[in-house]
């Protein structure tokens, strides 16, 4: 591990100034991903600016009904928070599906959004990786691809984003509040993470020195929601495929509003807009669920070892839609 300087930020403005003023500085919050990257040699900062004790750890309802989640709220606290459990069930479920009790006690909202892929070539500094070292090539293409992307990948990178939390937030139409050297801006969660294109080293649209200070959830609506995660074992494993859905119904059995996102399939939480367009206003039927899922996956392509993810994503989408619409059977 390369030696680095450590300093504790006094307030968000101080944190932003400290990181913005040093090209190789990074923010440190829970550290569950970053400390691992320091050990692996993936992250080699000159300076760590510790934001973990800043007063950004509150969950509060705003006067307009939105809920503001501070960037340093711990994953375990967020999952257990009454506002989240009662009104945003899908988010609580997604958080509890991620990592272990020990890790959720440390991991933070902002850090979870900024965690990096667990692609084994990205994590192994002895192998070429465009995400870790731009221009060196992608070892996954032609390598072991069981955990890799089926949607939105490029020739430069086929890695997937590992977060469960962010998938639920994408389905909830959350916004990320960011503070940078030139002020504050809000970024829709769906546009926060990038597809790899030819710059896979950039996971998000953040500029150097920009600090995530909060996530905003829109006011809760009368809807049903669920998060389902498919993984290799019952607990404590990353998603092969996951699906978050938020659905509200009309009295006649048609779908009024639907928002759906997939995890484990792309470089970012994948908002299923094609499926949503088909389902909006449609009868909640098995046939329509399947048609919507297949339309979403029309552009999916397998790399070899991960071909199973395409039918798995389709079946999981159908199962979650069945669950959130009240167990509709074949119509």
Partner 1 sequence: MDVQITLIVDGAERSLTVDTRTTLLDALRDRLAVTSPKKGCDHGQCGSCTVLLEGRRVTSCLVLAVAQDGADVTTAQGLGEGEQLHPMQEAFLDRDGFQCGFCTPGQVCSAVGMLREAAQGHPSHVTADAGAPVELTDEEIRERMSGNLCRCGAYVNIVAAIRDVTAKEAASTTGVAAPAPKGSAGS
Our finding on whether 6 is near partner 1 (CB under 8 A) is yes
The answer to whether the CB of 303 falls within 8 A of the CB of 147 is: no
Q: How many CB atoms lie within 10 A of CB 53?
A: 12
Residue closer to partner 1, measured from CB, 7 or 322: 7
Judged by beta carbon, residue 6 or residue 308, the one nearer partner 1 is 6
Q: How many CB atoms lie within 10 A of CB 283?
A: 15
CB of 330 to partner 1, least distance (A): 27
8 A C-beta contact, residue 73 and residue 67: no
Q: Give the DSSP per-residue string, 60-76.
A: EE-TTS-EEEETT-BHH
Residues that contact partner 1, how many (by CB under 8 A): 36
Q: Name the DSSP letter for residue 190.
A: G
Between residues 4 and 144, which has the closer beta carbon with respect to partner 1? 4
Residue in this structure with the two tokens 């990257």, named with its chain if needed = 37
Stretch that binds partner 1, among 30-38, 246-254, 272-280, 294-302 (CB under 8 A): 30-38
* DSSP label at residue 304: S
Give the contacts of 201 (CB within 8 A, at least 6 positions apart): 130, 131, 132, 134
- Work out whether 56 is an interface residue with partner 1 (CB under 8 A): no
Quickly count: other Cβ atoms within 10 Å of residue 257's Cβ. 16
Residues 105-124: x where in contact with partner 1 by CB under 8 A, - otherwise, as a string: xx------------------
- Nearest approach in angstroms of CB 153 to partner 1 is 26
Select 35 or 205, whichever has its Cβ closest to partner 1.
35
Question: Rounded to the nearest whole angstrom, what is the least distance from the CB of residue 245 to partner 1 in the complex?
Answer: 16
Q: Which of 84, 240, 222, 81 is nearest to 164 (CA)?
A: 240
Per CB under 8 A, 38 contacts partner 1: yes
Contact in structure between 16 and 177 (CB atoms under 8 Å): no
Question: Least distance in Å: CB of 71 to partner 1?
Answer: 16
Per-residue tokens: 266: 């792309």
Residues 61-100 as x/- pattern, contact with partner 1 by CB under 8 A: ---------------x--xx----xx--x--xx--xx-xx
Helices (H) and strands (E) in the chain, counts: 12, 12
- Between 39 and 185, name the residue whose CB sits nearer to partner 1: 39
CA distances 10 to 14, 50, 180, 228, Å, are 6, 9, 16, 39
Q: Does 295 bind partner 1 (CB under 8 A)?
A: no
| Comparison of 1 and 13: residue with beta carbon closer to partner 1 | 1
327 binds partner 1 per the rule CB under 8 A: no
When asked if residue 251 is in the footprint of partner 1 (CB under 8 A), the reply is no
How, if at all, do strands 47-50 and 5-8 pair?
parallel
Instruction: Tell whether residue 36 is a contact of partner 1 (CB under 8 A).
Output: yes
CB of 264 to partner 1, least distance (A): 16
Instruction: For the segment 212-241, give every residue that binds partner 1 (CB under 8 A).
Output: 234-236
Residues that bind partner 1 (CB under 8 A): 1, 3-6, 8, 28, 31-32, 35-36, 38-39, 48, 50, 52, 76, 79-80, 85-86, 89, 92-93, 96-97, 99-103, 105-106, 234-236
């Amino acid at each position: 591990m390369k030696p680095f300087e450590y300093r504790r930020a006094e307030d968000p403005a101080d944190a932003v100034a400290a990181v913005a003023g040093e090209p190789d500085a990074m923010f440190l919050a829970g550290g569950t991903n970053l400390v691992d990257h320091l050990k692996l040699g993936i992250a080699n900062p000159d300076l760590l600016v510790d934001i973990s004790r800043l007063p950004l750890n509150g969950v509060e309802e705003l006067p307009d009904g939105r809920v503001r989640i501070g960037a340093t709220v711990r994953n375990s606290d967020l999952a257990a928070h009454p506002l989240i459990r009662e009104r945003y069930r899908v988010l609580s479920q997604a958080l509890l599906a991620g990592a272990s009790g020990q890790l959720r006690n440390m991991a933070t909202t902002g850090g979870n959004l900024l965690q990096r892929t667990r692609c084994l070539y990205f994590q192994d500094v002895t192998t070429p990786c465009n995400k870790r070292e731009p221009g060196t090539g992608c070892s996954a293409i032609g390598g072991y691809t069981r955990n890799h992307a089926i949607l939105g990948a490029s020739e430069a990178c086929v890695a997937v984003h590992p977060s469960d939390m962010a998938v639920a937030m994408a389905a909830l139409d959350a916004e990320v509040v960011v503070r940078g050297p030139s002020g504050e801006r809000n970024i829709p969660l769906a546009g926060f993470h990038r597809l790899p294109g030819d710059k896979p080293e950039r996971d998000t649209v953040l500029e150097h020195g920009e600090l995530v200070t909060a996530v905003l959830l829109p006011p809760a609506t009368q809807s049903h929601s669920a998060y389902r995660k498919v993984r290799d074992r019952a607990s404590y494993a990353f998603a092969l495929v996951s699906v978050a859905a938020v659905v509200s119904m009309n009295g006649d059995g048609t779908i009024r509003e639907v928002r759906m996102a997939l995890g484990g399939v792309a470089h970012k939480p994948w908002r299923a807009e094609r499926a949503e367009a088909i389902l909006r206003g449609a009868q909640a039927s098995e046939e329509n669920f399947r048609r919507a899922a297949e339309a979403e996956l029309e552009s999916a392509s397998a790399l070899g070892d991960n071909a199973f993810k395409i039918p798995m994503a389709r079946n999981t989408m159908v199962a979650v839609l069945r669950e959130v619409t009240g167990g509709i059977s074949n119509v």
